[in-house]
Chain A
């Protein structure tokens, strides 16, 4: 934990050394909520029925979606991004030279991006609450559990992307495709009921569909029972476990390949 903390602290110091960038990034979080609020009010009459069982208000629906989005994006691309950057700057070789387990290094490298994602999500949710979204705080722990499962399920794809960076120096279009498909069809911006039927079938294989539905119901539906939440959480957990196993195997294979080919820390 100490090593993870040290890596996170270093990333924090690096990020905050760019003061203007940090300031603009914080300001943008606040500025982005206002147009969302007015657009949501305009769209409400059209999608009101579709979001009836996920908070009833489209603004609440989109606020929860935007709360989850930073975590999905970070789970998918932080690992490959941090590894790619460490390879190109040469810091990966220095890190690998220390007696630190690879898993610890990876967690430490993505620790700060996840912390930043958590801050962004907290700001979005707080602003949403301040602008009229009614949150069910009693089931906050269930919502956190759903969020953790969403992160694990998408980290599986992030690990595959990281493996591709280690082996081929690029993750290709994998992360973009998953992020785009999930955000369009996984119920992030609009309910899955409003998309064409054949596309709705596609949304059934996306972990985000189950994760977001459980997360929204936990946070926005006061009457949502365990019986309603549990199936989504179980599907998400099962998918996450299988995905993580595949991701870890891919990453281990990529490390072995890079050590054999001599490209582990090569630019």
Chain B
């Protein structure tokens, strides 16, 4: 089941939420499923030669991503994000359903799709380590069809934008992890794609560079080039600040789609932290009767105060009632505040409440 929530753009005007025709959407998936055969041991193969097990990577995923939108794919490992990316990049054929990029089917028009979509391969080994950064980009600029006369300028611009313009004759094999990551990003931006697929794009970047890269993505790739960006991420800043909408996948199912901040408000705004001198006070256990429970282990704070985490207090009015309940029963409360919801909390709650299952 996919639940549609309000769609808002971070730092921009609200977008129309009406469904798009497949040809109008930048990316359109209709009931897409994919399963892979499970590897079997020789013993299993001999015992049951006819029996074949499958792992479902995607189950009837339907989704539409609008032109120019920044869309985040969230979910635990093995949720199906990579398979979805590979289908969009034409590396994997779906078993069922249709996938179109700006109206072109990935199955019937893979060559056209490859001109529209650029998958940013996140693995640094995909670079040519015995070449310089400039030589790497020159190669891919040619393969992406950049006109011969523009290759030099395009490569210089990209090297400057990722801060690698001074690497000179240094071979990529001698780069740090962060430098290689920046080169991968530069490579993916060569063709000025219509749809850019980014798999954890700021992994390996220092926080300052990651922030400047996000700004670059938003301003240059998004606003100026009008590129649609699909990002698989575990990074809260990317999900909450960069993405217009996010979709949460779990075990191949797309559980929910919506603005990350709206999702956080809905699924993550009922956690509070309470500072008390008496964490063993019986009134804290009584809270279960009004639907509030203690979640994590208590954390000692300064001067003998202890931080207790509570979940289920809901709105601020509910929280005020909880505080009154505790104070009336004689608990010393120094501070009571709403906890910031992490991306992990959000994913966990969506998986639990909509997906109906927990992960180890």
Q: Are the C-beta atoms of A99 and B128 separated by less than 8 Å?
A: no
**Among A10-18, A27-35, A66-74, the stretch in contact with B:** A10-18
Closest beta carbon of chain B to A137's beta carbon, Å: 37
Q: Closest residue of chain B to A86, judged by CB?
A: B126
Say whether A99 contacts B123, CB under 8 Å: no
A17 to B129, CA, bound (A): 10
The interface residues of chain A, by DSSP majority, are classed as helix
Q: Are A10 and B139 in contact (CB under 8 A)?
A: yes
Q: For residues 60 through 116 of chain A, which have their beta carbon under 8 Å from a beta carbon of chain B?
A: 89-91, 93-101
Does the CB pair B140–A98 fall under 8 Å?
yes
Contact B125 A2 (CB under 8 A): no
Residues of A within 8 Å of B138, CB to CB, are 6
Partner-contacting stretch, out of A50-58, A177-185, A257-265:
A257-265
A40 to B154, alpha carbons, bound, how many Å?
A: 57
Query: Which residues of the partner chain A approach B119 to less than 8 Å between Cβ atoms?
Result: 93, 97
Distance, CA A100 to CA B187, complexed state (A): 15
A14 touches B131 (CB 8 A): yes
Task: Check if A262 sits within 8 Å of B92, measured CB to CB.
Answer: yes
**Smallest CB-CB separation from B112: which chain A residue?**
A99
Q: Are B36 and A90 in touch, CB under 8 angstroms?
A: no
Q: Give residues 234-267 of A contacting B (CB, 8 Å).
A: 256, 259-262, 264-265
Q: Which residues of B contact A98 (CB under 8 A)?
A: 114, 140, 143-144, 191
Query: B78 at the A/B interface (Cβ < 8 Å)?
Result: no
Knowing A10-B131, A14-B130, A99-B115, say if A94 contacts B91 (CB, 8 Å).
no
A48 shortest CB reach to chain B, Å: 48
Give the residues from 74 to 91 in chain B that come closer than 8 angstroms, CB to CB, to chain A. Answer: 83, 86, 89-91
A-B contact pairs, 18 of them (CB 8 A): A7-B139, A7-B143, A10-B131, A13-B135, A90-B125, A91-B125, A93-B91, A93-B121, A94-B126, A94-B140, A97-B89, A97-B118, A97-B121, A101-B111, A256-B93, A259-B92, A259-B93, A262-B91
What 9 A-B pairs have minimum CB-CB distances, sorted nearest first?
A: A6-B142, A90-B126, A98-B143, A90-B125, A99-B115, A94-B126, A17-B130, A99-B114, A14-B130
A residues at B contact (CB < 8 Å): 2-3, 5-7, 9-10, 13-14, 17-18, 89-91, 93-101, 256, 259-262, 264-265
Beyond A18-B130, A101-B111, 17 extra complex contacts between A and B, CB < 8 Å: A10-B131, A13-B135, A14-B130, A17-B171, A91-B125, A93-B123, A94-B121, A94-B140, A97-B119, A98-B114, A98-B143, A99-B114, A99-B115, A99-B145, A261-B36, A262-B91, A264-B92
